[in-house]
Structure 1
Amino acid sequence: MSFQAASSPLIVQTGEQEPSALSYTEMVEKFAQTTLKTKLPWFEEEQTFTGIKVTDLLKFYKIEDVTSVSFLALNDYTATTKIEDIYSYEPIIAYEINREKIKVRDKGPYWLIFNLKKYPELDNIDFHAQMVWQINKITIHSKHDSTKT
């Protein structure tokens, strides 16, 4: 495993509980891998992304009444996705692009990806803005917590 993979945990905050950290290895071992091919506005050609579905992450943490999920990047950029869109479009938290671990300089270690090829209606600025790259923290919001988006 590379130094980057070992040193880049994904922090998950669920309501008022203590944050937990998921390593790359844990993501690969504990979750089903999902691979999709799509064209994104940042590339000229289609790319193949591998990662885990956000819906699988929500099932793993067993949070009820989820309203939205926020994704925070290394540069403090944050975007929030409504739970309806997460279930309708099943975005993934990608950790590989074209079968290679995503490096920080290439928008890694984790990148929220919507499948614009499968759902062309998402190919607009609102959904582009939600595709946070260099994710280092995810906050799961529910009706029962007091954290704000």
Structure 2
Amino acid sequence: MFIKVAALACGLMLASIATSADQPALSLHVTGQFAKAPVTLDRAALDDLSAVTINTSTVITDGTHSFTGFLMRDLLDHLGATGTSVTAVALNDYSVEIPMNDFYDYDVIVATHMDGKALRRADKGPFWIVYPRDDHRALQDIRFDYRWVWQLYQLDVQ
């Protein structure tokens, strides 16, 4: 009997771990140069930003995909950000500094959905910085490819 209970408990624990790994995070942490820093924005606050959809290819997927999310510049304007760059940090601690001009020169989004499905950790979510690379030849330069941060969880405005 003990073995059956222990096996059931282990199974439930593993199922819980697997399920939580697939669940999108519900918040984005933003620190740095803006009036209310630091702030953690939950999914409801992020959903208040206007949704934008772009269709573009990536260097890590096949074909063109439809990405939906919010414009990075809308988030920065909403927060009153005053810096010259943003450091984007992924769940695996990958980080890259992105010039603030990118967000005003191009329609860079923080995607929450790809091809109509919510992004999960298993497919680059919960948040993915996406550039409209097919709309601008300049964005097909490798320097921009490094700025596509997936599994994004933090932004630091400098």
TM range (shorter): 0.7 to 0.9
Q: Look up the match of 2:89.
A: 72
Task: Extract unaligned runs of 5+ from structure 1.
Answer: 142-149
Q: Look up the match of 1:57.
A: 75
Match of 1:93 among 107, 110, 115: 110
Q: Look up the match of 2:40.
A: 21
Measured against aligned partners, the alpha-carbon deviations of 1:85-116 in whole angstroms (never above 9, x if no partner) come to 22101210001001111000111000000001
- Once residues 15 and 85 of structure 1 are traced to their aligned partners in structure 2, the CA distance between those partners, rounded to angstroms, is 17
Measured against aligned partners, the alpha-carbon deviations of 1:110-135 in whole angstroms (never above 9, x if no partner) come to 00000011112211211000111000
Q: Percent identity?
A: 27
SS in 2 for 1:42: coil
Instruction: Decide which structure has the larger Cα Rg and report it.
Output: 2
Number of corresponding residues: 137
Task: Extract unaligned runs of 5+ from structure 2.
Answer: 1-18
- Once residues 58 and 70 of structure 1 are traced to their aligned partners in structure 2, the CA distance between those partners, rounded to angstroms, is 13
Which amino acid in structure 2 is aligned with residue 74 of structure 1?
L
TM-score, normalisation: structure 1: 0.85
RMSD of aligned C-alpha atoms?
Answer: 1.8
SS in 2 for 1:71: strand
TM-score, normalisation: structure 2: 0.80
- Once residues 42 and 118 of structure 2 are traced to their aligned partners in structure 1, the CA distance between those partners, rounded to angstroms, is 13
Q: Which has the higher helix share?
A: 2
